[in-house]
Chains A and B, each alone.
Chain A
Amino acid sequence: MKRSTTLISVTLIFASIFSAGSRGGDALGKDSAGSENPMRRFLIEDGDPNLSAIIKHIDNMYRSKSSTSRLKLIVTKPRNTRTLTMKTWTKGEEKVLVIIEAPPREKGTATLKIEKNLWNYLPRIDRTIRIPPSMMLASWMGSDFTNDDLVHEASFHKDYESSLVGPSEDPNGWLIELKAKPDIVGLWKKLEVIVSEDGRIPLVSRYYDRKGRLARTLYYSDVKDFDGHIIPSKLVLIPEDKKGHKTELIYEDIDFDVPVPDRTFSLSNLERKK
C-alpha cells in the first residue's frame, strides 16, 4: 500500500505542479523566463515586494499547457533510502501519466491520472488498479506527502489570503503568510512561504495543520533554466512528526509546451506501454 500511495503522490505532484495549462501563458508565466528589469520591477516595486504579483508568479511557475519530464524521487526512511527514476507526460490540469524507468523491479509500472481518477498499471501481473478515493483524501502511510495536498490543485491566490510579514533572514528573502480562506476545505490552516529577495523563486514553504502546528517543511533549491522557465529543480519535503524521513524530488529534464497526444492518457495505452 505504501508503494502505491507513493505513486499517487508522485502523480499528484505533477498534477499540482504542471496543471493549469490555461493559466500557463499568462503575463508572468512566460516572462518569468527572463531576468530583464521589467519583470523584476513588477515583482518588486520601489524596493517593496508586490505581494499579489509574487503569489500569482509562484502559482504559475511550473505550469504549462503540456509537458514531458524525467525526474528522480529519493525517499529516505530511517532504515533505507530508495531512488526511483520516472518519466512523465502532462496535458492541461487533468491529465498526467507517470512511468517508472528504474529500478528494474518496478520498471514499466505506470500511474495515470485523469481528472479525479487514478490508476496504477502493474506490468508484472498485467493489471490496472484504480486507487480508491478514500486513499486519495487520507494521508498516506509511510510517506512524507499527504494525498490531499497533491490531489488538491491548490492555488495560492485562490485558496489563501496572503499577507507580507516582512524580510526574512534565514534564508534571505521575503516571508509571506498564507491563511486558508474560510470556505476552502483542506489540511492546511496556514502556510509560510519564503521567496527570494527578487520575489521570483520560492525558497521554503512551511505547512501548518488545522491546529496551527508546523506539520512539514518543503525546501526548494537548485534553480535551473528549463526551456526558459527558471524554476527550482529540487524539492525536499521534511515531515515534522517522522524522524529520519525525507522525500526529495529532482527534475532532471523538463520540456514545456511540447505536443502530447490525448491517447497518451488512456488505460489501453497504459497496458501497451509495458
Chain B
Amino acid sequence: MPMRTAQIAWRNLGRNKKRTALALLAIAVAQFALLATDGLMRGYSDNIRLAITGPMVGHVQAHHPNWRREWALDLAIDEVDRIVSTIHEDPDVGDVSARIYAPVLVAPEEDAFVATVVGLSVDSESNPYGVLSGLKHPLERGKVLMGYRLAKKIGAKPGQEVAVIGQAADGSLANDLYIVQDIIKCPADIINQSGIVMSLQDAQRLLVMPNQANEIVIRAKTSGKSRDITRRLSQRPRFAAIEVLPWQEIVPELVLILKMSDYVGYFALVIVFVAAIAGIANTLMMSTFERVHEFGMLLALGTQPRRIVRMIVCEAIFIGILGVVIGTALGYGFVAGTAERGIDMASWGGEGQVEDMAYQGLNLPLHIYPRLEPVDSLLGLIAVIITSMAASVWPAWIAGRLEPVEAMRA
C-alpha cells in the first residue's frame, strides 16, 4: 500500500532535523512572544481595572447629590446603616463600605500638618480589594492607619500618638488623639499622600456625623454588573435623594486611561503578531526553497506535482501545530510561573526608588501579574497554521511546476 502523503510529510520532518528544529523554534518563539505579551498586557489592564474598582472607587457609589461637586463634609447620606442593609439586599452586591472624608490637621508633636481623615467600614474594607485588605491585624477602634508618604513627611511611626484636629460637620472644632496602628500603602493615592484612616464609627464621632457618611462604595460579586446594580438601586424609594453612579461615570478619565491602555496593548500585540508571522513565513519559505533539488528528483521519479504541493503543505501544518504546542507550553509556563509572584516592572526602571506611579489620584502598582485567557492560545494556533500554509503553498507551487531536470540541477 502506497504511503499516504501525510505520512510521508511526517517522515520528512525527521529527515533534516536541523531544518525542522529551526522552523519549530521560529514558530514556538513567535507563539511564546505572542502569549507572553498578551499575558503582560492583560495583567497590566487588570492592574488598572482593579485599582479603580477595587480599593479606590468600587463598582458603584452612592452620595448626597451635591457631594461630588462641593466635597463638603455636611453633604452626607443620613441613616447609613439602613441604606447599607438595603444595598446588601441586591443579589449582585458583594461588599458595601461607607466612607467619610474630612480635611484635618495632624500633629504628632507640636507641629501640625495637613491631612485627610478617611473613615471607613473596617469589616468590608478588610475583604479582598478593600482598602484594608493587605492589613495583618484588623484596624482597631481608637487607632488609625497612616498613608506611607504622609508618615514619611511628618515622621510618624506605628505606636505613636497623634492629635487630629479639624472642623466637624456642624462647624464645631473636632479634635481627638489616636494611636498610629500601622503605616499603609494602597492604590488610592489620596490615602498614601495624606490619609489618616480610621473606623467609620471613630470618624462619625470625631466629626459629629451620627449614622452619616459622605460616600458608600459598593463592590459587585462579579464585574460587569455595575450598571445593573446602579439601575436597581436608583429605583428604590430609599434612594430618592441619593445619587447612585457606576464607576464608569464617577471616574470617566480613568475609563479613558483604561481604554487607552487597551489600545496600546492591542497595538503592541499586533506588532508582535506581525513579527511572529514574518518569522514563520521566512523560515518555512527558506526551508522549502532549500529542497528544490529533492523535489526535482521526486518529479523525475514520476511523482505528481499536486502530491508534492500537498506534501509540503502537510509538512508546514505539522511543523506549525508542533511549534504552536511548544510555544503555547512555553507561554503558559511563563505566565503560570510569574502569575503567583508577579513581575516587578519597577525594578526594570534602574536604580531609582520608584515603586508605583500615580495618575489622576490612582496609584498604579508597577508589579504586574500576567494572566491569559483560553482564547489567547487559539488565536496563535489559527494564525500560525494559516501562515504556515500560506508560507509553504507558494514555494511548493513553484517546486511542483519545475522541470525535473532543471530542478535537479538547482
* A-B complex is real: yes
Inter-subunit contact A106/B165 (CB<8 Å): no
Segment of A2-10, A29-37, A221-229 engaged in the interface with chain B: A2-10
Segment of A77-85, A157-165, A184-192, A209-217 engaged in the interface with chain B: A77-85
Segment of A64-72, A90-98, A124-132 engaged in the interface with chain B: A124-132
Judged by a CB distance under 8 angstroms, whether B50 is at the interface is no
Tell me, in angstroms, the Cα distance from A231 to B175 when the chains sit together: 36
Q: Nearest chain-A residue to B177 (Cβ)?
A: A125
* Chain B residues within an 8 Å CB radius of A122: 163, 165, 173, 175
State which of A1, A77, A80, A103 has its C-beta within 8 Å of the C-beta of B104: A1
Q: Can you report 5 A-B residue pairs in the complex whose CB atoms are below 8 A from each other?
A: A1-B103, A1-B166, A105-B172, A120-B165, A129-B112
Q: Nearest chain-B residue to A131 (Cβ)?
A: B112
Inter-subunit contact A132/B173 (CB<8 Å): no
Tell me, in angstroms, the Cα distance from A82 to B167 when the chains sit together: 12
Inter-subunit contact B171/A82 (CB<8 Å): yes
Inter-subunit contact B74/A79 (CB<8 Å): yes
Judged by a CB distance under 8 angstroms, whether B79 is at the interface is no
State which of A80, A124, A130, A134 has its C-beta within 8 Å of the C-beta of B171: A80
* Chain A residues within an 8 Å CB radius of B72: 79, 142
State which of B103, B113, B114, B171 has its C-beta within 8 Å of the C-beta of A77: B171
Tell me, in angstroms, the Cα distance from A141 to B166 when the chains sit together: 11
CB distance from B251 to the nearest CB of A (A): 23
Inter-subunit contact A3/B174 (CB<8 Å): yes
CB distance from B92 to the nearest CB of A (A): 35
Inter-subunit contact B105/A4 (CB<8 Å): yes
Q: Which of B111, B114, B175 is packed against the most chain A CB atoms within 10 Å? A: B175
Judged by a CB distance under 8 angstroms, whether A194 is at the interface is no
Tell me, in angstroms, the Cα distance from A116 to B65 when the chains sit together: 41
Tell me, in angstroms, the Cα distance from A124 to B174 when the chains sit together: 10
Judged by a CB distance under 8 angstroms, whether A249 is at the interface is no
Judged by a CB distance under 8 angstroms, whether A39 is at the interface is no
Q: Nearest chain-B residue to A124 (Cβ)?
A: B175
Inter-subunit contact A132/B175 (CB<8 Å): no
Judged by a CB distance under 8 angstroms, whether B383 is at the interface is no
Q: Which of A7, A82, A122 is packed against the most chain B CB atoms within 10 Å? A: A122
CB distance from A171 to the nearest CB of B (A): 31
Q: Given A2-B166, A129-B111, 19 other A-B contacts at CB below 8 A?
A: A1-B165, A2-B103, A2-B171, A3-B165, A3-B171, A4-B173, A7-B173, A80-B171, A82-B172, A106-B173, A124-B175, A124-B176, A125-B175, A125-B176, A129-B165, A130-B110, A130-B112, A132-B112, A135-B112
Q: Which of B104, B112, B168, B170 is packed against the most chain A CB atoms within 10 Å? A: B112
* Chain A residues within an 8 Å CB radius of B168: 3
Interface residues on B, range: 20 to 34
* Chain A residues within an 8 Å CB radius of B250: none
Judged by a CB distance under 8 angstroms, whether A75 is at the interface is yes
CB distance from B101 to the nearest CB of A (A): 12
Judged by a CB distance under 8 angstroms, whether A19 is at the interface is no
Judged by a CB distance under 8 angstroms, whether A146 is at the interface is no
Judged by a CB distance under 8 angstroms, whether B107 is at the interface is yes
Q: Nearest chain-A residue to B71 (Cβ)?
A: A141
Inter-subunit contact A1/B167 (CB<8 Å): yes
Tell me, in angstroms, the Cα distance from A103 to B171 when the chains sit together: 11
* Chain B residues within an 8 Å CB radius of A75: 171
Q: Which of A1, A77, A119, A135 is packed against the most chain B CB atoms within 10 Å? A: A1
* Chain B residues within an 8 Å CB radius of A205: none
Tell me, in angstroms, the Cα distance from A233 to B343 when the chains sit together: 68
* Chain A residues within an 8 Å CB radius of B163: 122, 125, 127, 129
* Chain A residues within an 8 Å CB radius of B170: 80, 82
CB distance from A143 to the nearest CB of B (A): 9
Judged by a CB distance under 8 angstroms, whether A11 is at the interface is no
* Chain B residues within an 8 Å CB radius of A16: none
Judged by a CB distance under 8 angstroms, whether A60 is at the interface is no
Judged by a CB distance under 8 angstroms, whether A147 is at the interface is no
* Chain A residues within an 8 Å CB radius of B113: 132
- In chain A, positions 153-173 with a C-beta closer than 8 Å to chain B are none
Judged by a CB distance under 8 angstroms, whether A88 is at the interface is no
Tell me, in angstroms, the Cα distance from A112 to B73 when the chains sit together: 27
State which of B111, B112, B166, B173 has its C-beta within 8 Å of the C-beta of A105: B173
CB distance from A127 to the nearest CB of B (A): 5
State which of B74, B111, B172 has its C-beta within 8 Å of the C-beta of A3: B172
Tell me, in angstroms, the Cα distance from A122 to B165 when the chains sit together: 9
* Chain B residues within an 8 Å CB radius of A77: 171
CB-based closest 5 A-B pairs: A2-B167, A3-B167, A82-B171, A3-B173, A1-B103
CB distance from A28 to the nearest CB of B (A): 39
Q: Nearest chain-B residue to A267 (Cβ)?
A: B110
CB distance from A213 to the nearest CB of B (A): 22
* Chain A residues within an 8 Å CB radius of B104: 1
Tell me, in angstroms, the Cα distance from A128 to B111 when the chains sit together: 9
Q: Nearest chain-A residue to B107 (Cβ)?
A: A129
- In chain B, positions 152-199 with a C-beta closer than 8 Å to chain A are 163, 165-168, 170-177
Q: Nearest chain-B residue to A143 (Cβ)?
A: B167
* Chain A residues within an 8 Å CB radius of B177: 125, 127
* Chain B residues within an 8 Å CB radius of A82: 170-172
* Chain A residues within an 8 Å CB radius of B167: 1-4, 6, 142
* Chain B residues within an 8 Å CB radius of A4: 105, 112, 165-167, 173
CB distance from A77 to the nearest CB of B (A): 7
Q: Which of A77, A127, A142 is packed against the most chain B CB atoms within 10 Å? A: A127
Inter-subunit contact B172/A141 (CB<8 Å): no
Inter-subunit contact A128/B105 (CB<8 Å): no
Tell me, in angstroms, the Cα distance from A125 to B104 when the chains sit together: 15
* Chain B residues within an 8 Å CB radius of A3: 165-168, 171-174
* Chain A residues within an 8 Å CB radius of B175: 122, 124-125, 127
CB distance from B212 to the nearest CB of A (A): 13
CB distance from A150 to the nearest CB of B (A): 17
B101-132 CB mask vs A (1 if < 8 Å, else 0) is: 00111010011111000000000000000000
Tell me, in angstroms, the Cα distance from A142 to B103 when the chains sit together: 11
